[in-house]
Structure 1
Amino acid sequence: MSKNKVLSSVKDEELIKKRRDQMIKGALTLFKEKGFHRTTTREIAKESGFSIGTLYEYIRTKEDVLYLVCDSIHGEVKKRLEAVVDLKQPSTENLCNVITSFFHLMDEMQEEILILYQEVKSLSKETRVYILQKEREMADMLEKAIITCLPHKLAKQDTALLANNILIQGHMWGFRRWMVQKEFTLEEYIERQLNFALRSMGIKS
């Protein structure tokens, strides 16, 4: 499934984007408060600032809204990660900046990431595969940064595992905040996770 497969009776692409952006913002607010299943399409329409009839001009089902929300979250993560990945000037310092920026982003978006993982199971198999592919793309970006910035090569499997470890460590700040955020400030958490990552790459911190 792609964004274009969320059918709309409206043909104006600019208007579709505008209305769906409103819809995503409204749905995110509601999903944070009460979750996907307890939120109705009527509530989404009201929170978005238009009628239920208008809502259904831009989507077919409530699952379409969830798909657009999940796709939007991944899009924001990708955009912000790309902004800090400077592969033209590869260095260990640049890699540390990428990892640090990723952790800061995960702190800012922890509610959205929680929604993504809690509710993705509610999507159809086809849509879920598409959304999870976006997750693989995040890991691929981190993997590429590791390969490019490290002064020495790691085994391919080790690089892939390390990239996924960094991804999950970022998510863990929100998933297990009931524990880790009581033990560490964000900066302390980043420093320790960065040290672990550097040591696993054979770099003294």
Structure 2
Amino acid sequence: MKKVHIPSMVKNNQKIRKRRNQILEASIQPFKEKGFHRTTTREIAENAGMSFGAIYEYVESKEDILYLFFEALYDQLNNILKSRVSDQFKGLERLRSFVKQYFQVINEIGQATSIMYSESRSLPKPYLEYVLTKENDFVQYVMDIFSKSLEEENISLDEEEIYLLTHNIIVQGHMWAFRGWALKDRFTLEKYTDVQTKTLIGSISALTE
């Protein structure tokens, strides 16, 4: 699906990127604390150090801000992961390494991940459709790593099983963000990653019996 174009009154692309980054940073705390609908564009503008009128030089609506937030989140997740995931491991060690890196990234962008879960329903339909395309692309990326790991171990699972376990990995990472208020009293990130990885490997073993 084609990327949604968010119009700007400003023609300088570098300035657009800079100001929109300010706007997105300024939106994280109020979106997390108050939710999308209770957060005002004026509040975001004030947090960004901009006048209420100036913010509309870079976006046309609060929905534009939420869409740009989601787009930036997926780009950040993909870019960080692809810079960290190493090809030096093979088989299940490749999978373990990916899960460790993925959970670490989610830990770093936890606030944004929580907002993604709570506010995706607030996106207008065309925006949501594109965001879901980005999500499906990420699912495919994880599936490819999963499939390669299994192939290197000569482990055979059908596509539906791989697809479901891929979603389990993704959601377990997200759970560290949106259930962190409970988990972090009992687990370090390292321990949480270790337990979830063992559960994942155990699921693979169970499916091959």
TM over 0.5: yes
Distance in 1 separating the partners of 2:174 and 2:181: 13
Structure 1 stretch displaced more, 84-93 or 137-146: 84-93
The aligned length equals 203
1:168 maps to 171
Greater alpha carbon shift after TM alignment, 31-40 vs 176-185: 176-185
Contact 1:84 1:97 in 2 (8 A): no
Contact 1:3 1:68 in 2 (8 A): no
- RMSD in angstroms over aligned alpha carbons? 2.0
Work out the percentage of aligned pairs sharing the same amino acid.
Answer: 36
The answer (yes or no) to whether the contact 1:87–1:145 under 8 Å persists in 2 is no
Q: Is the 2:28–2:111 Cα contact (8 Å) retained in structure 1?
A: no
Shift of 1:177: 2.6
Aligned to 2:196: 193
Q: Kindly tell me: are residues 12 and 3 of structure 1, through their superposed partners in 2, closer, same or farther at Cα, counting changes over 3 Å?
A: farther
Q: Secondary structure at the match of 2:205?
A: coil
Identify the residue that residue 110 of structure 1 maps to in structure 2: 110
CA distance in 1, matches of 2:142, 2:198: 16
Pair 1:29 & 2:24 matched: no
Q: Which residue identity does 2:185 align to in structure 1?
A: K
Distance 2:136 2:202 in 1: 24
Distance 1:43-1:2 versus aligned 2 partners, 3 A rule: farther
Task: Provide the rounded CA distance (Å) in 2 between the counterparts of 1:4 and 1:142.
Answer: 24
Shift in Å at residue 89 of structure 1? Answer: 5.4
- Does the aligned pair in 2 maintain the 1:7–1:58 contact within 8 Å? yes
Q: Which residue of the partner structure matches residue 157 of structure 2?
A: 154
Matching of residues 79-94 of structure 1 within 5 Å: 79-87=79-87, 90-94=90-94
Aligned to 1:183: 186
Report the TM-score, using the length of structure 1 for normalisation.
Answer: 0.90
The C-alpha deviation readout for 1:164-190, integer Å capped at 9, x for no partner, is 000011111222234333332222111
CA distance in 2, matches of 1:116, 1:25: 14
Question: Closer, same or farther in 2 for the Cα pair 1:88/1:154, shift >3 Å?
Answer: farther
Amino acid at match of 1:8: S
Q: Does 1:40 align with 2:40?
A: yes
Q: Does 1:59 align with 2:71?
A: no
Instruction: Give the CA deviation at 1:194.
Output: 0.3
Query: What is the DSSP-based 3-state SS (H/G/I as helix, E as strand, rest coil) of the residue aligned with 2:127?
Result: helix
Structure 2, unpaired ranges of 5+: none
Cα deviation code 1:19-39 (max 9, x no counterpart): 111111111132223221121
Counterpart residue number, 1:143: 143
Instruction: Confirm or deny: 8 A CA contact 2:100 2:193 kept in the other structure.
Output: yes
- C-alpha distance in 2 between matches for 1:104 and 1:33: 23
- Which blocks of at least 5 consecutive residues in structure 1 are unaligned? none
Matched, 1:5 2:8: no
The alignment's TM-score, normalised by the length of structure 2, stands at: 0.89
